[in-house]
Amino acid sequence: MDDVIVFGSLNMDLVVNMERLPIQGETINGTDLSRFPGGKGANQAVGIARLGLNSFMVGRVGNDDFGKNLFNSLANENVDVSGISQDILESTGTAIIYVDSNGDNTIVAVYGSNMKCGSREIDFTIEKKPDSDLLMLQNEIPAITSIDIATRWSELGGRIIWDPAPASEKHLPLLNVCDFVTPNEVEVSSLSNTRVTNIESAKKACMEIASIGTAVPIIKLGGQGVVYMDGSKVIHQPAFKVNVLDTVAAGDAFNAGFATALNEGKNLPDSVRFGCGVGALATMKRGAQSAMPYREEVERFLETRVS
């Protein structure tokens, strides 16, 4: 089975839990503060490794304690870290995540060394192409780097899953290079003129995105499930009902599950369903990488679900 390469971000997540999110100018009490390894790229790499595939992380950390912790954490999760380089000038990326009692979150990120990803990381990734088909990208590294590696990977016949998070117009050329694009209901606004508020508006946005690029749109709607294009059809995959504790890792978990199923040869509907199962399980735990489920958990979970 081919390896999966995740080219993207590594951040240390500082998570503040609270009853509700503050309004502008307000100071409120948090209930606790925790530190977790994160970054959309690293989260997805851990998710893929826990699902049983060979996962390669390509990215950059700083020469600091956060960077060392992230490197060691990924290695302990059986992620191949040979593609992670160390930047001597920039600090490791850091994200501050505010989570309310419903599990909803707001994130502020300082990307630091992630924004120095460039030719070194691209060259390493291209060298891995003979053993890999699937490449995963996000928007937490420079747009020019993402576009360059995506173009070269595509020319070599590889497939690409692009998670356009956070929303960035600079990354829009990827719509015509990548095979799949997986925005959530907020990020989709950077790809279409449709404001997504429900399943029907998501279907409209899907068709609009499909008309302007070659990437297959897969829109993540949280508790409403996923809307995606399969050929000329727009399909809604309902969400699995679970007791939600923390949604911070849900999108990355979906992408890890979707990529895993796709890499194993499953068709698009089955891959989306598998991704939804992985995403649902991730919301039942706190943290990002620590919330990623293992393969056995996902298979047991999906066996009991009919949707």
Instruction: Give the CB-side neighbour count of residue 278, counting CA atoms within 13 A.
Output: 34
> Does the annotation mark 252 as catalytic?
yes
Helix or strand holding residue 140 (H, E) = none
Q: Parallel, antiparallel, or unpaired: how do β-strands 55-62 and 3-7 relate?
A: parallel
Closest to 153 (Cα-Cα) out of 176, 122, 184, 183: 122
Given the residues 13, 87, 163, 252, select the one marked as catalytic: 252
CA distances from 78 to 42, 51, 283 (A): 12, 11, 22
Report cis status (omega within 30 of 0) of the bond before 166: yes
Task: Quickly list H helices, the chain.
Answer: 40-50, 65-76, 119-127, 143-155, 199-212, 250-263, 268-282, 295-303
In contact, 61 and 69? CB cutoff 8 Å: no
Q: Residues with catalytic annotation?
A: 252
